[in-house]
Structure 1
Amino acid sequence: MNAQPQLPHAREAFYRRDRRSVRLAREFTRAALADWAAAERSDDVLLCVSELATNALLHGVPPGRGFRLQLALDVDRVLRIEVHDSGGGEIRSPDAQPEAEDGRGLFLVAALADKWGVGERDPGKVVWCEFETAAADQCLYEGE
């Protein structure tokens, strides 16, 4: 008999203001999803992590600082991703214009995640998104 992992799960990591941090944040997230048997929406989750981390680096992290990535999977199998930064960057509406060269990050997050939003912190902000994942026993029956 296989024992199911205990829920909820949580992990966090801090990243410097460096382009490589986006790749490291994706790798960190990929490992957590695999450990938590919550990989069925991994492509969408990883894209959202990339977008939120990139936005933090470009608009929310002052020089010499970094951002924090928090992942949590609760007992209802809802995966929450939070990116905390310490800057004052403004969050624009996720209404991307087709011809725009930038501004599509939050548009993608809004389209892919089940929920998303912005919260305050001092200093800075928290941008978060949530994904409903399959129940653990459902994955076993579907052969995942």
Structure 2
Amino acid sequence: MNTETQPPSPRERFYRRERRSVPAARAFARETLTAWGVRGRVDDVLLCVSELATNALLHGVPPGRGFLLRLVPCGDGVRVEVHDSGGGVPAVPQADVREPGEGGRGPLLVSELADKWGVGERDPGKVVWFEVGGV
């Protein structure tokens, strides 16, 4: 990350519960990373953003609500948070994900691509986050 003068400020944007929010969140993340001078691991970050935004829409955003995407510079990397108002806690599936069917792969992808990830409490809801270094 290019931080020659001062570290960049966190950036965030709210998205409504609609299908077009996932590509919009990915585009916002790309714009933010570009503005910050990030060149490394951009594809990893964008894939993780897509997965968490999709999970928020499918499982964490009640009708009439939305989710907040927040990107925060941290050290030589970036922390990405998805805030939603739904219940439940995402987990990496324990079953064989090579079996046919949909669902459960988002947390697995994030756990493989990110350096760290987790879930924090929020009232109401939760914050699902990940960190990627070496950007």
TM-score by length of 2: 0.90
Paired AA for residue 4 in structure 1: E
Identify the residue that residue 14 of structure 1 maps to in structure 2.
14
2:78 maps to 79
**Is this contact kept in 2: 1:5–1:36, CA < 8 A?**
no
SS in 1 for 2:37: coil
Match of 1:44 in 2: 44
Residues 83 and 128 of structure 1 are in contact (CA less than 8 Å); yes or no, is this contact kept in structure 2?
A: yes
Q: Confirm or deny that 1:59 pairs with 2:59.
A: yes
Which stretch has the larger CA shift, 51-60 or 36-45? Answer: 36-45
Distance 2:17 2:64 in 1: 7
Aligned AA for 1:131?
V
Per the TM alignment, residue 5 of structure 1 is displaced from its structure 2 partner at its CA by: 4.2
Secondary structure at the aligned position of 2:130 is classed as strand
Note the C-alpha offset of 1:102.
1.4
- What amino acid maps onto 2:126 in structure 1? K
Q: Which runs of 5+ in 1 are unaligned?
A: 135-144
Give CA deviations for 1:39-98 in whole Å, capped at 9, x if unaligned: 311110000000000000000000000000000113x22200000000113323344621
User: Structure 2 counterpart of 1:92, which letter?
Assistant: A
Q: Distance in 1 between matches of 2:39 and 2:60?
A: 28
Match of 1:101 in 2: 102
Counterpart contact for 2:15–2:21, Cα < 8 Å: yes
Length, aligned pairs only: 131
Q: In the alignment, residue 117 of structure 2 is paired with which amino acid?
A: W
Instruction: Give % identity.
Output: 62
Alpha-carbon displacement from aligned partner over 1:115-134 (angstroms, at most 9, x marks no partner): 00000100000000000024
Compute the RMSD of aligned alpha carbons: 1.5
Which structure 2 segments of 5+ residues have no match? none
